[in-house]
């Protein structure tokens, strides 16, 4: 057979395949989501997320040490308060759960890069992501509380803040308040393209953040829409976001790709709780190979254009990278 072009030539050996690999990953791009809650000696497994835990502040250092040993030095904190109210006041309280977790982590692990989720849903008695006016979330009144929350996190030791609420204008409000208070160099990772997704179910159990009525479709995006995601990303770039996130990851690879092509900022993707839970359940039943699925999911996200990957499998992926099974 007379063929000049033979693509299989570059697949001949593992060494050659690695040399010409188009998508490359390393541990520096991984962020691990962490749930912190009130109490002491708490390290409770989340029923719908096998292998994931809620930690009290006194148990948090043990998990941070495990992460650092695995080579994962970036975490995102989600707080679970004991007391909730209509305006989510524990989100921006000086001694709120996330604020205290930040101080403890900063004191014990100065090398850890600390990011915080900025939202109201874990802190409000109604479970919505902002202040209510009747049964509607009041966008503009919520902005002040989100900005106060972000500032309180930075003052407690956060290196970066990540607003996930999907209120219009929240990146600009946070940027202004941080700048006014001397934090011009603190970056904002914006959940700019966040869809109203069924993949969030296990997280809402983990954080106790399910809405007590209705849903979040009036502020999170309709999953039918692609162009709207680009509009959201471009608006947040204009308002001062430093990194743009697409959430969830796996079902939105097309959106990740288009955001990557349209903006000149790093792109993050969040492999959410539902993705994690499905892999764990499928592996437990023997239907899938967990390691191979986890690696393929991660590579697909990076291949689509993500520069940063938030995942509950961060420790496992770091191990797989060290062992040369992915990367």
Which residues are the active-site residues?
Answer: 194, 247
The alpha carbon dihedral of 312, 314, 319, 324 has a sign of positive
Cα separation of 97 and 105, whole Å?
12
Largest separation between any pair of C-alpha atoms in the chain: 75
3-state secondary structure of 110: coil
- Spell out a b/e string for 23-62, using b for 16 or more CB atoms within 10 Å of the CB, else e: eebebebbbbbbbbbbeeebeeebebbeebbbbbbebbee
3-state secondary structure of 125: coil
C-beta neighbour count of 83 within 10 angstroms: 10
Establish whether the linkage from the previous residue to 248 is cis, with ω within 30° of 0.
yes
Determine how β-strand 49-56 pairs with β-strand 43-46: antiparallel
């Amino acid at each position: 057979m007379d063929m000049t072009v033979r693509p299989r030539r570059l697949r001949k050996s593992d060494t050659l395949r690695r040399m010409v690999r188009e998508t490359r990953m390393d541990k520096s791009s991984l962020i691990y989501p962490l749930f912190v809650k009130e109490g002491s000696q708490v390290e409770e497994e989340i029923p719908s997320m096998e292998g994931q835990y809620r930690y009290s502040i006194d148990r948090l250092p043990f998990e941070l040490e495990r992460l650092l040993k695995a080579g994962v030095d970036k975490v995102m904190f989600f707080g679970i308060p004991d007391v909730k109210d209509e305006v989510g006041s524990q989100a921006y309280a000086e001694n709120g759960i996330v604020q205290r977790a930040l101080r403890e982590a900063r004191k014990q692990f100065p090398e850890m890069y600390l990011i915080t989720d900025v939202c109201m849903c874990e802190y409000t008695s109604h479970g919505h992501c902002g202040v209510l006016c009747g049964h509607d979330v009041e966008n503009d009144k919520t902005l002040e509380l989100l900005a106060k929350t972000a500032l309180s996190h930075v003052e407690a030791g956060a290196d970066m803040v990540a607003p996930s609420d999907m209120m219009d204008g929240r990146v600009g409000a946070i940027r202004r308040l941080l700048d006014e208070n001397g934090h011009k160099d603190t970056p904002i990772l914006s959940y700019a393209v966040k869809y109203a997704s069924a993949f969030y179910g296990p997280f809402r159990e983990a954080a106790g953040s399910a809405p007590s009525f209705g849903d979040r479709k009036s502020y999170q995006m309709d999953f039918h829409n692609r162009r709207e995601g680009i509009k959201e990303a471009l608006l947040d770039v204009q308002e001062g976001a430093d990194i743009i996130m697409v959430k969830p990851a796996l079902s939105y690879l097309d959106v990740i790709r288009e955001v990557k092509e349209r903006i000149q900022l790093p792109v993050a993707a969040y492999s959410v709780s539902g993705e994690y839970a499905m892999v764990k359940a499928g592996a437990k039943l023997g239907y899938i190979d967990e390691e191979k699925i986890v690696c393929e999911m991660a590579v697909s996200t990076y291949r689509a254009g993500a520069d940063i990957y938030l995942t509950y499998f961060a420790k496992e992926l770091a191990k797989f990278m060290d062992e040369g099974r992915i990367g």
